[in-house]
Amino acid sequence: MQYEEVNNALLSEFPALSVDKDDIDLPYVVAGCFTSFLLNSYLEGDKATYFRGLQFIETLYLSDVHKIRELATVGYLESIQNTWPSNLLSIDIPFSDLGAESKKWWTELNLFWDKKIKYLGESFKT
């Protein structure tokens, strides 16, 4: 998958996801819409959609395209970290359900926001 194809792949996988037609070409805006969609799926008890959504994010990390992996972290995971607490939900809920690669980058985001690293990916450098 190429970077420009991520939004179409997402909308194909999740036809119930509503995105304004003017935003369809804006991956980070679509990621924010998807985060709200995942939150609502969780709150409504639609765990199948919720878990499929987290799996979609995990598959983005398997890409060879750096921009796609960056979108997974900064667009999707960071949006979840910002959205869930503002809805009075613990961010421990999605973390425990993430795939291995997503968890690694979730932790990296936390290190960055806690000012323990200077840039995302720093703790992976040897």
Write down the pLDDT at residue 118: 93
**How much is the pLDDT for 83?**
87
Give domain status of residue 107, yes or no. no
Q: What is the pLDDT of residue 85?
A: 77
* Cβ partners under 8 Å of residue 114, min gap 6: none
pLDDT of residue 124: 86
Does 59 reside within a domain? yes
Per DSSP, the three-state class of 18 is coil
Domains: count for the chain: 1
- Integer Cα distance of 70 and 62 in angstroms: 12
The verdict on residue 48 lying in a domain is yes
State pTM to two decimals. 0.91
Mean pLDDT by 10 residues, the chain (126 residues): 95 95 94 95 95 97 96 96 79 88 94 93 81
How far apart are alpha carbons 81 and 112 in whole angstroms?
13
Given this model, what pLDDT does residue 92 score?
77
Identify whether the C-beta of residue 77 lies closer than 8 Å to the C-beta of residue 69: no
* Residues 121, 108 contacting (CB under 8 angstroms): yes
Whether 58 maps to a domain, the answer reads yes
Structural domain for 16, as ranges: 3-99
What integer pLDDT is reported at residue 126 of this predicted model? 58
Residue 94 has what pLDDT?
87
Residue with structure tokens 């194909």? 12
